[in-house]
Structure 1
């Protein structure tokens, strides 16, 4: 099974370099997507885990992802680097 790299904030797959956020030095982030992280900082630093769960659910529903897959993705969120200490 292939090990996929995912955003450590929202769990979005980072399959394409274009999806990676940027560090303060301009390099691509290996941990976060461009929707969560830019220029070395979170785009929405006040967001908490519960808000991220709602955000992810809403985005996946718009993409017509099935409920089982949505729930699995939401269940992963607390294990991600950004939320582990929350």
Structure 2
């Protein structure tokens, strides 16, 4: 595409200044269509399989106290955009 001799003078030479001289700007130089991640389906499926496996194998629950009652975690927010769970385990 960018090597069309009818459009560009010396098309095989690397010369970025050729666009300053009034030659047409290459519209299709970098392919057609929008850019998408080629591994997006692999990433989605990998995350789904990981979460599904964790949910089927592990038991997620609150920590129990010595008398068998669940311990309610205290959540403290910070100004860093993240949250921190105040836990004696950490």
Aligning the two structures, in what range does the TM-score lie when normalised by the shorter sequence? under 0.3
User: Which has the larger helix fraction?
Assistant: 1
Looking at secondary structure, tell me which structure has more strand per residue.
Answer: 1
> Highest relative contact order (Cα 8 Å, sep 6+), 1 or 2?
1
